[in-house]
Chains A and B, each alone.
Chain A
Amino acid sequence: DAGITQSPRYKITETGRQVTLMCHQTWSHSYMFWYRQDLGHGLRLIYYSAAADITDKGEVPDGYVVSRSKTENFPLTLESATRSQTSVYFCASSEDRDEETQYFGPGTRLLVL
């Protein structure tokens, strides 16, 4: 199906482990974004990408790494997970002729023990 998908939908890991969250979109949108959602904070931008091989930090990038070797994929890696990274993570993309409007994936719920 066309759209934006995230995997896994749910993940439990332990402190110190590396975790990669996947995001895939079938629209060939140039812009892609990663957010985390925490109670009382709304959504906060972690990283974003304007095109393949172009990434930039958002509001809360520490402890995260991203890559964008292909337009359709934008994985987010937690290099050494911490309990404070327990959150719901959303990926989004925006189309080239209306970059302001973002389309969101269903989210990944991550629990770090």
Chain B
Amino acid sequence: GDSVTQMEGPVTLSEEAFLTINCTYTATGYPSLFWYVQYPGEGLQLLLKATKADDKGSNKGFEATYRKETTSFHLEKGSVQVSDSAVYFCALSDLDDYKLSFGAGTTVTVRA
């Protein structure tokens, strides 16, 4: 079945550092790929998405490119802020009934 593997955390960074969180997937066909973010005490929010190979999703300074050849969707941000401290989830969408398969989540802490 479909599955997502993402980099284990926790990750601790200083403000203005570069962030990358690795995500790889296994799926039949060509699913859509997502990054969701969960701030402390809240539900998940969509951060960005990409629906086909070579698409780049971007939002709030974060970017991720759908790489079919490496089955990857790594999340990057060039200069993180304290407010980026959260748990980040990579996910893919089942094409038949829109179920999402999530990675285990990566906790990111940004220190001032």
The chain A residues found within 8 Å of chain B, CB to CB, are 31, 33, 40-45, 48, 50, 56, 58, 90, 92, 94, 99-107
Q: Which residues of B, 34-48, contact A by the 8 Å Cβ criterion?
A: 34, 36, 42-46
Contacts A42-B103, A48-B97, A48-B99; is A101 near B89 (CB within 8 Å)?
A: no
Provide the residues of chain B in CB contact with A102, threshold 8 Å. Answer: 46, 98, 100
Q: Is the interface of A mostly helix, strand, loop or mixed?
A: strand
Contact (Cβ within 8 A) A43 B89 = yes
What residue of chain A has the Cβ atom nearest to residue B8's Cβ? Answer: A40
What residue of chain B has the Cβ atom nearest to residue A105's Cβ? Answer: B43
Q: Mark B77-112, 1 if CB is under 8 A from A, else 0.
A: 000000000000100010001111011110000000
Q: Please, how many angstroms separate the alpha-carbon atoms of A44 and B4 in the complex?
A: 12
Which of B43, B44, B45, B98 sits near A99, CB closer than 8 Å? B98
- Best-surrounded residue of B32, B89, B97, B99 (most CB of chain A within 10 A): B99
Task: Tell me, rounded to whole Å, the shortest Cβ–Cβ distance linking B42 to chain A.
Answer: 6
Contacts A43-B89, A104-B44; is A50 near B104 (CB within 8 Å)?
A: no
- Best-surrounded residue of A31, A43, A101 (most CB of chain B within 10 A): A43
Task: Tell me, rounded to whole Å, the shortest Cβ–Cβ distance linking B52 to chain A.
Answer: 12
Task: Tell me, rounded to whole Å, the shortest Cβ–Cβ distance linking B38 to chain A.
Answer: 8
Task: Tell me, rounded to whole Å, the shortest Cβ–Cβ distance linking A28 to chain B.
Answer: 16
Contact (Cβ within 8 A) A41 B104 = yes
Contact (Cβ within 8 A) B104 A42 = yes
What residue of chain B has the Cβ atom nearest to residue A38's Cβ? Answer: B104
Task: Tell me, rounded to whole Å, the shortest Cβ–Cβ distance linking B99 to chain A.
Answer: 6
Task: Tell me, rounded to whole Å, the shortest Cβ–Cβ distance linking A89 to chain B.
Answer: 11
